[in-house]
Structure 1
Amino acid sequence: MNVFFACGSAKSGTTWLQRILDAHPEVCCSGEGHFVDRFSVPAAQVVNAYNRGLTNDGRMVYEGRPYYQGVDQAEFDEIVRGFIVKRLHARADNRTRWVGDKTPAYTRHLKQLLRLFPEARIFHIVRDPREVAVSRMGHSLRAGASEAMTPGAEQYRQTIEGAVRLWREAVTAVDAFAHEHPGVVHELRYVDLHADPRGEAEKMFGFLGVSTAPALIEQVVAATSFEALTGRPRGQEDLASFLRKGVLGDWKTRLDAESVQLIHERCGDLMREKRFAA
Structure 2
Amino acid sequence: MTTTTYPAEIPRIDIHHRSTTPVHVLGHARSGTSMFVRLLRKYLHIAIGTESQFVFRFQKLLPVYGDLNVEANRRHLVEDICRERWFERTHRRLGFTTTPDAILADVQEFTYPGILDATFRQLASYLEMPRWGDKTPEYLNHLPELYALFPDARYIHVARDGRDVALSAFEQAFGEKNVHCAAVDWTEAMQKVQDFRESCPESQFLEVRYEDFLTDPVPVFRRLIDFLDIDDADGQLLQFIEQNIDSDLKRGNFEKWRSRLTPSELRRFDRIAHDHLVHYGYESSATGTVPPGPVSSAWWNLDNKARKLLRTDYWSDNLYKLRLRLAGRS
TM superposition score normalised by structure 2: 0.59
The answer to whether structure 1 residue 128 and structure 2 residue 146 are counterparts is no
Q: Does 1:205 align with 2:211?
A: no
8 A contact 1:20–1:221 mirrored in 2: no
1:31 paired residue number: 50
CA distance in 2, matches of 1:92, 1:222: 26
Superposed displacement of residue 271, structure 1 = 0.9
Paired amino acid for 2:273: C
Which among 21, 31, 47 is matched to residue 12 of structure 1? 31
Q: Residue 121 of structure 2 contacts residue 131 of structure 2 at CA under 8 Å; is this kept in 1? A: no
CA separation in 2, counterparts of 1:24 and 1:200?
13
Shift of 1:128: 0.7
Please list every run of at least 4 consecutive aligned residues from structure 1 whose deviation after the TM superposition is greater than 6 angstroms.
none
Contact 2:179 2:265 in 1 (8 A): yes
CA RMSD of aligned residues (A): 2.8
Question: Is 1:217 the equivalent of 2:241?
Answer: no
2:263 corresponds to: 257
Matches within 5 A, 1:141-220: 158-183=177-202, 184-212=204-232, 214-220=235-241
Structure 1 residues 25 and 255, CA, compared in 2 at 3 Å: closer, same or farther?
Answer: closer
The verdict on how the C-alpha distance between 1:81 and 1:277 changes in structure 2, with shifts beyond 3 A counting, is same
Counterpart of 1:117 in structure 2 is 150
Shift of 1:26: 4.2
Which of residues 257, 262, 277 is equivalent to 1:271?
277
More displaced stretch, 93-102 vs 125-134: 93-102
Partner of 1:59: none
Structure 2 partner of 1:81: 113
Aligned to 1:3: 22
CA contact (8 A) 2:32 2:210 kept: yes
- In the alignment of these two chains, the number of paired residues is 220
Quick one: which of 120, 131, 137 aligns to 1:104? Answer: 137
In structure 2, C-alpha distance between the alignment counterparts of 1:24 and 1:176, rounded to whole Å: 30
Q: How far 1:166 moved relative to its partner? A: 2.3
Report the more deviating stretch, 248-257 or 77-86: 77-86
Q: What is the SS of the residue equivalent to 2:177?
A: helix
The aligned counterpart of 1:247 is 253
Q: CA deviation at 1:86?
A: 2.1
User: Where do 5+ consecutive residues of structure 2 fail to align?
Assistant: 1-19, 67-108, 285-330
Whether the 8 Å contact between 1:9 and 1:167 is mirrored in structure 2 is: yes
**Would you say the 8 A contact 1:9–1:166 is kept in 2?**
no
Of stretches 160-169 and 191-200 in structure 1, the one that deviates more from structure 2 is 160-169
Structure 1 residues 263 and 78, CA gap change in structure 2 (3 angstroms): farther
Q: Which amino acid aligns with 2:64?
A: V
What SS does structure 1 have at the residue aligned with 2:25? strand
Could you tell me which residue of structure 2 aligns to residue 46 of structure 1? 64
Helix, strand or coil: the match of 1:248? coil
Instruction: For 1:23 and 1:221, locate their aligned partners in 2 and report how far apart those are by CA, in whole Å.
Output: 13
Deviation at 1:24, TM superposition (A): 3.1
> Matches of 1:78 and 1:261 in 2, distance apart?
53
Contact kept in structure 2, 1:24 and 1:220, CA below 8 Å: yes
Residue 268 (structure 1) shift: 0.2
Partners of 2:44 and 2:25 in 1: CA distance: 17
Displacement of 1:97 after TM fit? 3.3
Contact kept, 8 Å, 1:26 with 1:210, in 2: the verdict is: no
Q: 1:3 to 1:163 in 2, by over 3 A?
A: same
User: 2: CA distance between counterparts of 1:270 and 1:16?
Assistant: 23
1:80 maps to amino acid: Y
Aligned counterparts of 1:113 and 1:164: Cα–Cα separation in 2: 25
Aligned residue type for 2:263: A
Structure 2 residue 158 is the aligned partner of structure 1 residue 137: no
Once the two structures are TM-superposed, the CA of residue 217 in structure 1 deviates from its matched residue by 3.1
Q: CA deviation at 1:251?
A: 0.7
Contact 2:26-2:137 within 8 A present in 1 as well:
yes
Three-state SS of the structure 1 residue aligned to 2:266 is: helix
For 2:49, what is the secondary structure of its paired residue?
strand
